[in-house]
Structure 1
């Protein structure tokens, strides 16, 4: 079957339906899942384009709702063409682009329209977009909601780029009032400068020096602010890339008190630990930082207990020079990790050893992420009427991450040389075969996903 061609049906001995893995045929019509049949009830002579994948696992495509594409403005770091190819190669069928690191940032209606123009004709998977909350842009929020942004992101600490300033308490209250009744969601980079934090005084090439400069208390105090706002305004709030297990108690208490609050963590916080980061290995730098192995196990326990709702990549690439590999200076290096292509095997390699099932993978990497950005009526589930977005993969097969197989623009990643379990064989987007065994369809078939306001929510 040619890449880019329409797939009418997919057959496998291992289709994940709900919590069970069973033989099935998925019949596709007009890009949607039309029927799900047992092998025995599917007629052999229908003459349609059948893709028989043997005993490869068939699951809903992954929805990665935390991706920095950086286009326009910083396309030397990443761009829609390269990022979405990497996504397709990793079984990711939907990404949601973050509003910062591009120039201009997605903080006004005009800038959102520029983003859409730049992304047109370059996406190999479907793409939705976050807007941003910065000081003084509160009157842009409702027009951006009407235009289809999935929600908004803000920072409680310097974002790393000057064109996306962090918000004050006043800005937060102003934004919350604008978002009330819209059904939209506000995402928080939840770190806050607190008196206990100190400037780095140790050797800047030692990871411990950087880690000490961003202690757990920064996340705890930021999340305290978020939980209070969430309870006061009853606006959906979401904590991005939780790295510390210490604030989990605060989050649980706020939810029990009625806060509409969700939280994600990332593949790097679940896969890596501070003790294993070599001196000068600045490809491991991200903010918040990768913490110790005990903390990592607490995050896994919280995932198992459903205290953490989802797992994302937070793909945040840059050009190699910004990582300061020559000097190995963690304090000067750009903070961000590239992993968009490898989220599924990264997660499964660790999760399968901790008793997680394939149904947990779908819940944490597809369903909950689609839910966050109001795409769960069409994305993230293998069910009738949903987009026929499928990842076909081999959970048992092991492979090594090599530079030649990386499809995002800059190949620097802390995972080079890692052996992972789980090989993505093919990716189907709305019934079209977009990736198979290292090869892509000749033209990008991804669409822009403009998120409609949910029925029953207040009209703007």
Structure 2
């Protein structure tokens, strides 16, 4: 384990507030022996090991530990205020830091009211203040009738705008028609923001067989790949004609990857994410009635999963984020296991790094690539200029990670408000031992996070 050495003398003794030394320090150049100097929450020095940096506190990493930049998760449903029994800022951000996530951006729906006006944003900020353990930013929402609210929300500091092209699952956050999405894209292009899209086609879902009962294959057929493929094609074409930035959320259909790749080659301003559940789970392994696995779009077949990994490796998919979408246990309909009525969302905020590292390591993918997908790439998409890298000038958001260590997922030991996850009982590789936010270790007892605004982070 790491060893901490307070340096005797005055509190400001030494050149830095904190120095970390180790043989496995991950910078943009790779993993190598380094010393990292931190002052006032900022990384101000990264030197070869042996440089002799001194500070008020010295931390020496153990031989089995790697120092990483904190992860950035741009797809988290916190649900507070209004549905705090589903999650909440304290529980969500405590889970985040336990999993090595130092920055999240909260989704605009499932809270009441949804973040579709400046007043709603201000209410959410007032509730979040003083109870967040990591840094937190906010997405705004684009819903029918709030086009005039988008620019004020942008000026108030949201990082972009989320919309749905199919039923969101909550009545107060209605989905946009394709025509309304086009108008929203034109509006956000006028002030160079980004529209992030839940891309499933409402008509295709309506034409699919219903999802009733406890059979997973019936649920899977109710959310066909065609629904995603059609909606993604619509997003691409309207982003192309408006010149707006668009981001496709939680891609699960590998069928859509060729048109995404083509759009990127054509210069369409498009980025794409996928999630741990699509990369680590398969439809074939989900038991009937196991509604902990339900999410929308759904977890698909093993062959589809392999193509999603290939899409990451060839750059078609840009990043991996959680889409942490929790609910109370009763809403998961655990007793009956009816996929038609159970809430669609996977709880995984605390587990993302070990989930992806376990699967990536099995495939021979290095830890540096995993961190690129889960830290630097989402930070860049959200324009978080000082997040996502262990580099001079960046926030000292750092994680001490033991990649060879293992653990078994125990829902009772997770910090999510509700003890349910499809990963219960799984053995995973990679243990987060310590997490630092702006140079201060986060212990899960004292909230030290900051509420972020676009352009200030």
User: Shared topology, TM-score over 0.5?
Assistant: yes
Q: Partner residue of 1:445?
A: 448
Shift of 1:156: 0.0
Q: Which has the higher contact order (CA 8 A, sep 6+)?
A: 1
Pairing 1:297–2:302 present: no
Q: Partner residue of 1:457?
A: none
Query: CA-to-partner distance for each residue in 1:341-384, whole Å, 9 max, x for gaps?
Result: 00000000001111211221221000110011110x20001110
Match of 2:291 among 262, 282, 286: 282
Pairing 1:239–2:239 present: no
Aligned partner of residue 335 in structure 1, secondary structure: coil
Shift of 1:199: 5.2
TM-score, length-scaled by structure 1: 0.94
Q: Partner residue of 1:249?
A: 258
Q: Partner residue of 1:458?
A: none
Pairing 1:408–2:411 present: no
Distance change in 2, residues 1:267/1:177 (3 Å): same
Pairing 1:374–2:383 present: yes
Q: Partner residue of 2:35?
A: 25
After TM superposition, the structure 1 = structure 2 runs for residues 19-418 of structure 1, keeping only pairs within 5 Å, are: 19-43=29-53, 46=54, 48-55=56-63, 56-195=65-204, 198=207, 200=209, 204-375=213-384, 377-418=385-426
TM-score, length-scaled by structure 2: 0.94
Q: Is the 8 A contact 1:97 1:128 kept in 2?
A: yes
Distance change in 2, residues 1:148/1:47 (3 Å): closer
Q: 2-side partners of 1:417 and 1:453: how far apart?
A: 41
Q: 1-side partners of 2:414 and 2:175: how far apart?
A: 33
Distance change in 2, residues 1:26/1:202 (3 Å): closer
Q: Partner residue of 2:8?
A: none
Match of 2:435 among 413, 427, 444: 427
Q: 2-side partners of 1:203 and 1:235: how far apart?
A: 38
Q: Is the 8 A contact 2:134 2:449 kept in 1?
A: yes
Q: 1-side partners of 2:349 and 2:453: how far apart?
A: 22
Q: 2-side partners of 1:172 and 1:52: how far apart?
A: 51
Q: Is the 8 A contact 1:136 1:171 kept in 2?
A: no
Q: 1-side partners of 2:274 and 2:320: how far apart?
A: 5
Shift of 1:256: 1.7
Shift of 1:204: 1.3
Distance change in 2, residues 1:119/1:242 (3 Å): same
Distance change in 2, residues 1:196/1:149 (3 Å): closer
Aligned partner of residue 22 in structure 2, secondary structure: strand
Structure 2 segments unaligned to the other structure (5+ residues): 6-10
Aligned partner of residue 255 in structure 2, secondary structure: coil
Q: 2-side partners of 1:335 and 1:389: how far apart?
A: 32
Structure 1 segments unaligned to the other structure (5+ residues): 455-460
Aligned partner of residue 247 in structure 1, secondary structure: helix
Shift of 1:19: 3.9
Shift of 1:194: 3.2
Distance change in 2, residues 1:212/1:50 (3 Å): same
Q: 1-side partners of 2:173 and 2:269: how far apart?
A: 26
Q: Is the 8 A contact 2:18 2:55 kept in 1?
A: no
The aligned length equals 444
Shift of 1:7: 5.5
